[in-house]
């Protein structure tokens, strides 16, 4: 276990944030790292509880052996700690940056002394591993002669490809975008997940024998060319808004806006759809909406509002949502923090929706009518027209979530879909024959860490099928 009195001697300390005003000037990473001595001190706070909820179903979907590698990190055995982490987590450099740290919310100390900082600790270990040369290509000594195609190179696709490759299968990954990485490359802004980090992992996997075929949309013919096919194309069908004038120029889905912003950043050019000098409206209060807020601020938007159709969450846990479950409380994420630093006000407006949009004579968006949202007797949201007000808006970003799997892939493979827009399955991950599904494609919109875990499970089921 960690130091017996560690949590009594050291307060919880996360990686420090860069100043909001400073980080708004670039798309660079937002955190600095703690010195090695302080990192070990933070690891010492993990007490290896009798029931470690952090690695249970309430905590980490990957079931990381958190008390074990925290103990090794505290003792200074960093290489051994990394080896222990990599037994369950294939990509700590991703989860160490974008995971909401479910393990920390389930920590025994979360309600009293502050949870151990597992996410920062795992990020420290993997980055130390790369810097020290401990991370080297793991090339399988033997191939079993069977070929597997993975369609989609997001978190679930990469996890499935990695595991199957290590088990001796010949793996080829099909990605219709120009770069591998899926959501990791184009769905998450660079300041949150640097693209150099994604590219580093892709290069490593290629050195280990995985073939990445970019710019290629796989069709059903690959089912006869490969022994198994895993569909990992994500939940790419965005939820629409019902507003008069929806098709005015300047109304974009968040995923398209973020993709173009990242592509422009990587190519060193101005984005084709920039927020510069515009009044921006972001529809959606989740992670994607927050990423849109942060990106629009960096592009130099003039004004910014973020709409959330739901009421504001409570500032503390409710009795109906007890520990160790994920707490539904009011959170202020990095984008809102940056907006408050620049504009002096939280950009979020709760229980509000878009009623209509108005375009100029050239068809470009110029304003939006907002209205408050009430509740029907059944509890469903109902717009209140008497509360309508018009606001200036030249760019509206729809970040209202997703309603199902990638429609092009579903159509190409002639899949039967459930009402949630996910494929009908014959077993946990198998659609039928040699066809499997994983990640958000299978489950619907979820977290990166859950997609990775699901990719590993799908790879295991595919391997059992091929055996």
Look at strands 170-175 and 211-214 and give their pairing. Answer: parallel
For residue 47, what are the contacts with CB-CB under 8 A and spacing of at least 6? 1, 2, 6, 7, 67, 108, 109
Contact of 452 with 155, CB cutoff 8 Å: yes
Q: What is the pLDDT of residue 1?
A: 62
Distance, CA of 127 to CA of 35 (rounded, Å): 13
Per DSSP, the three-state class of 397 is strand
Whole-angstrom Cα distance, residue 183 to residue 451? 11
Provide the 8-state DSSP code for 14: P
Q: Tokens 């980490």 identify what position?
A: 60
Task: Give the integer Cα–Cα distance in Å for 26 and 416.
Answer: 44
- Homologous superfamily, domain 251-398: FAD/NAD(P)-binding domain (3.50.50.60)
Distance between first and last Cα of the chain: 39
d(CA 187, CA 193): 10
Give the pLDDT score at 327.
Answer: 84
Superfamily (CATH H level) for 147-236+403-466 = FAD/NAD(P)-binding domain (3.50.50.60)
Chain length of the chain: 467
* Tens digits of pLDDT across the chain (467 residues): 667 888 888 999 999 999 999 999 999 999 999 999 999 999 999 987 888 999 998 899 999 999 999 999 999 999 999 999 999 999 999 999 999 999 999 999 988 889 999 999 999 999 999 999 999 999 999 999 999 999 999 999 999 999 999 999 999 999 999 999 999 999 999 999 999 999 999 999 999 999 999 999 999 999 999 999 999 999 999 999 999 999 999 999 999 999 999 999 999 999 999 999 999 999 999 999 999 999 999 999 999 999 999 999 888 877 777 788 888 888 899 999 999 999 999 999 999 999 999 999 999 999 999 999 999 888 888 999 999 999 999 999 999 999 999 899 999 999 999 999 999 999 999 999 999 999 999 999 999 999 999 999 999 999 999 99
Phi, psi of 305 (to 5 degrees): -130, 145
Which residue has 């979360």 as its token pair? 110
Q: How many Cα atoms occupy the beta-carbon half-sphere of 264 within 13 Å?
A: 15
Domain 6-132 carries which CATH code? 1.10.1060.10
Give backbone dihedrals phi and psi of 376, rounded to 5 degrees, phi first: -75, 170
CA distance 232 to 20: 35
Helix, coil or strand: residue 435: strand
Give yes or no on whether 6-132 and 147-236+403-466 have one common fold. no
Q: Angle at Cα 93 formed by Cα 89 and Cα 94, nearest 5°?
A: 85
User: How many CB atoms sit inside 10 A of residue 447's CB?
Assistant: 17
8 A C-beta contact, residue 317 and residue 323: yes
Token match 């024998």: residue? Answer: 209
* Contact between 446 and 438 (Cβ < 8 Å): no
User: For the chain, what are the domain ranges?
Assistant: 6-132, 147-236+403-466, 251-398
DSSP-derived letter for residue 326 is P
Other C-beta atoms closer than 10 Å to the C-beta of 373 total 20
Torsion sign over Cα 89, 187, 202, 78: negative
| CB atoms near residue 149 (< 10 Å) | 23
CA 374 – CA 187 distance, rounded (Å): 32
């Amino acid at each position: 276990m960690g130091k017996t009195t560690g949590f009594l001697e050291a307060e919880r300390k996360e990686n420090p944030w860069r100043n909001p005003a400073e980080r708004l000037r670039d798309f660079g990473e937002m955190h600095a790292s703690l010195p090695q001595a302080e990192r070990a001190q933070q690891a010492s706070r993990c007490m290896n509880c009798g029931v470690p909820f952090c690695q249970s179903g309430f905590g980490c979907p990957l079931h990381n052996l958190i008390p074990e590698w925290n103990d090794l990190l505290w003792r200074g055995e960093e290489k051994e700690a990394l080896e222990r982490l990599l037994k369950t987590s294939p990509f700590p450099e991703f989860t160490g940056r974008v995971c909401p740290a479910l393990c920390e919310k389930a920590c025994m100390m979360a309600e009293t002394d502050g949870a151990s900082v597992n996410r920062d600790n795992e990020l420290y270990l993997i980055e130390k591993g790369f810097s020290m040369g401990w991370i080297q290509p793991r090339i399988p000594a033997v191939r079993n002669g069977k070929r597997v195609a993975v369609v989609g190179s997001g978190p679930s696709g990469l996890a499935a490809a990695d595991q199957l490759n290590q088990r001796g299968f010949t793996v080829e990954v099909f990605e219709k975008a120009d770069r591998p990485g899926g959501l990791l490359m184009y769905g998450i802004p660079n300041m949150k997940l640097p693209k150099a980090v994604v590219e580093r992992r892709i290069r490593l996997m290629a050195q280990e024998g995985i073939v990445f075929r970019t710019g290629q949309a796989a069709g059903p013919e690959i089912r006869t060319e490969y022994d198994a096919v895993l569909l990992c194309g994500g939940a790419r069908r965005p939820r629409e808004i019902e507003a008069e004038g929806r098709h005015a120029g300047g109304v974009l889905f968040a995923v398209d806006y973020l993709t173009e912003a990242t592509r422009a950043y990587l190519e060193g050019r101005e984005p084709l759809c920039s927020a510069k000098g515009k009044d921006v409206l972001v529809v959606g209060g989740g992670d994607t909406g927050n990423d849109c807020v942060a990106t629009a601020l960096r592009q130099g938007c003039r004004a910014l509002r973020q709409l959330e159709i739901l009421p504001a969450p409570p500032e503390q846990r409710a009795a109906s949502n007890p520990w160790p479950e994920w707490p539904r409380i009011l959170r202020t994420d990095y984008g809102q923090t940056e907006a408050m630093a620049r504009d002096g006000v939280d950009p979020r407006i709760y229980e509000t929706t878009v009623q209509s949009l108005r375009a100029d004579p050239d068809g470009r968006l110029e304003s939006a009518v907002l209205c408050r949202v009430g509740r029907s007797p059944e509890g469903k949201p109902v717009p209140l027209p008497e509360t309508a007000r018009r606001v200036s808006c030249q760019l509206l970003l729809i970040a209202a979530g997703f309603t199902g799997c990638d429609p092009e892939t579903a159509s190409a493979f002639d899949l039967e879909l459930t009402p949630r827009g996910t494929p009908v399955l014959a077993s946990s991950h198998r659609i039928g024959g040699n066809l499997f599904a994983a990640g958000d494609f299978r489950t619907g919109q979820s977290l990166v860490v859950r997609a990775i875990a699901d990719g590993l499970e799908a790879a295991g089921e595919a391997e059992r099928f091929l055996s």
